Amino acid sequence: MTDASHAWIQVLDANGRYLTRFGGKGGGEENLVKPEGIAADASGRIFVADYATSFVHIYDPAFRRLSTFCGFGTAAGSLSCRGQNS
């Protein structure tokens, strides 16, 4: 579950009980600012979309950050980080 006010992701079990959290506020590409979207793939990787930075952070099933990429663009097929098109 995303927690944008604390800039972390809370992990809950199937009954909604708190297990742990990861992420957190801070500067730099590796930190979250305002996480608002979350998804997982079949291999257990976790994708977190950060509204404030337009970054998508990818974590492994043990909640270690694997990579980050830009997630928002102004034109079809483009990506942008903090206003920089790529």
Domain boundaries of the chain, sorted by first residue:
2-85
Map tokens 């801070």 to a residue: 26
The per-residue pLDDT for range 59-75, each reduced to its tens digit, is 999 999 999 887 666 76
pLDDT over 80 (residue 29): no
Map tokens 């997630």 to a residue: 71
pLDDT over 80 (residue 84): no
pLDDT over 90 (residue 38): yes
What is d(CA 32, CA 78) in angstroms, rounded to the nearest whole number? 22
